[in-house]
Amino acid sequence: SGKPIMITHVESPSADAFRASAKNVAAQCSIIASNLQDEMESEPQSESSDEIQSENVTT
């Protein structure tokens, strides 16, 4: 015991369920990342990143 089901019982129903869940999580992460990228690309760029960084620096 204490060993991952994916190692000890690769073809078990539990391992299959884990694989399916992991595949679904990965797909959702990919969709969210794509949507965020599209959102960021569609936002107007009012300031460059250099200007933003220089405003945050205190001397």
**13-31 pLDDT, tens per residue?**
999 999 999 999 999 999 9
CA dist list (Å): 36 to 23, 33, 44, 49: 20, 5, 14, 18
Give the pLDDT band (50/70/90) at residue 45: confident
State the distance between the two ends of the chain, measured CA to CA, in whole angstroms: 57
pTM higher than the cut 0.95:
no
Q: What is the token pair recorded at 21? A: 């869940």
Question: Is it the case that residue 47 has pLDDT exceeding 80?
Answer: no
Distance CA 24, CA 29 (A): 9
Contact call for residues 5 and 18 (beta carbons, < 8 A):
yes
Contact (CB, 8 A) for 12 and 5: yes
Confidence of residue 48 (pLDDT cuts 50, 70, 90): low
